[in-house]
Chain A
Amino acid sequence: MKTDKLTQQKIFRDVLISLLLYALPVILMLLSFKITGQRPWKNANNTIVNKNK
């Protein structure tokens, strides 16, 4: 038994949309960093360096 053609097409289309949805929070986060000038990963590196000291 096979999945009908229309369902296959909808699945393919919705998977493509999903890829965008998966990326959306990451893109928005990076955009917010760009706007505000925040660089939280730099603080994280500093913390690790300090810990090693």
Chain B
Amino acid sequence: MIQYIEQIFRNLNGWGLPLIMLIIGIVEFAYGLYENHWTKNERILDIVCFIFPKIIVKPFIAYVSLLLLPRLLPDAKNIFSWVPFWWGFAIIAVADDLTQYWYHRLHHQLPWLWRFHRTHHSAPYMGMAMASRQNFIYTIFFSQIYLTTTLVYLGLGYPALFVTGVKALITTGAHSSIKWDKPFYTIKWLKPIGWVMERLISTPATHHAHHADTTDDGIGNYKGNFGNMFFLWDIIFKTGIITRQYPSGYGIKHYKQEEWYAQFLWPIFKSKKEGSELAADGPMVGDAVPEQQIILGEPAFQK
């Protein structure tokens, strides 16, 4: 039985997850969940971002784990392999996901980092198509990947196999335009499970709120809900909002449908769209309106 579960997770971390994403993506597309937002420019960007990590980032991580770490830490290989499975699982889960929480949060709260993460938020829809959508620098410096790779080298590879598998399923599910969490808020006997679930892990309701194009409706919370696998970090740091509802619109209000190559490769390639955050002379943060700052006495940034 354990070997069977182990095999599932090994496949999940290999070809399994991309296949699951493709199947869910086809279902989403068939049900028209992208409406008419998936234009040619968005399609190219989404597909390039889906493929890039698999052909560039994975080999680079393999290089780090197979060549660089043995040189940097020659005597440290498997020194923590004695750590019992469930403790290893907890250590990896916290180390990986809390690091990603910070990586993500800082890209929203430090204005100079925003443009590296903007590409993920510019999609005016949710779903498998945009789940991998990131600027290449954001993808390459995905900090928790290197931390987890190091922990694997130190001997926590077996628990990491399961953590990364569970995490991939949760984050993929949270980005899906299929609102699979809805029954947990409406069916009476599922509600207690839903209460725990929405505080523990990211769900479509809480993560869609993070991708909302406004906070005016009381549902959208692009200034928070940063959690990836665990929503618990948002609860602890008070950066989360739970409404059990879904925003009416996604993306960023000042989106100018910038060229796919500028979104993917900024700052190497700049956008030609006037006033764009990705243009050569564009603002660092497009919705930072000075007048509003003066009236409200608080910064407009944190998209």
Contact B98 A18 (CB under 8 A): yes
Interface of A is mostly: helix
Binary B-proximity of A11-38 (CB < 8 A = 1, otherwise 0):
1001101100110111011001000000
Contact A17 B94 (CB under 8 A): no
Select from chain B the residue with minimum beta-carbon distance to A23.
B94
Q: In this assembly, does B31 line the interface, its C-beta being within 8 Å of a C-beta of chain A?
A: no
Contact A25 B90 (CB under 8 A): yes
Alpha-carbon distance between A27 and B112 when the two chains are bound, in angstroms: 36
Bin the interface of chain B by size: 20 to 34
Chain A residue contacts of B288, Cβ below 8 A: 1
Contact B237 A17 (CB under 8 A): yes
Closest chain-A Cβ to B268's Cβ sits at a distance in Å of: 22
Contact B83 A21 (CB under 8 A): no
Binary A-proximity of B72-91 (CB < 8 A = 1, otherwise 0):
00000000011110010011
Alpha-carbon distance between A26 and B301 when the two chains are bound, in angstroms: 37
Q: In this assembly, does B102 line the interface, its C-beta being within 8 Å of a C-beta of chain A?
A: yes
- The listed residue (B81, B82, B94, B299) touching A4 by CB distance below 8 A is B299
Of all A-B residue pairs in the complex, the 10 with the closest CB atoms, nearest first, are A44-B82, A25-B90, A29-B87, A1-B111, A40-B82, A41-B82, A25-B91, A14-B237, A4-B299, A1-B284
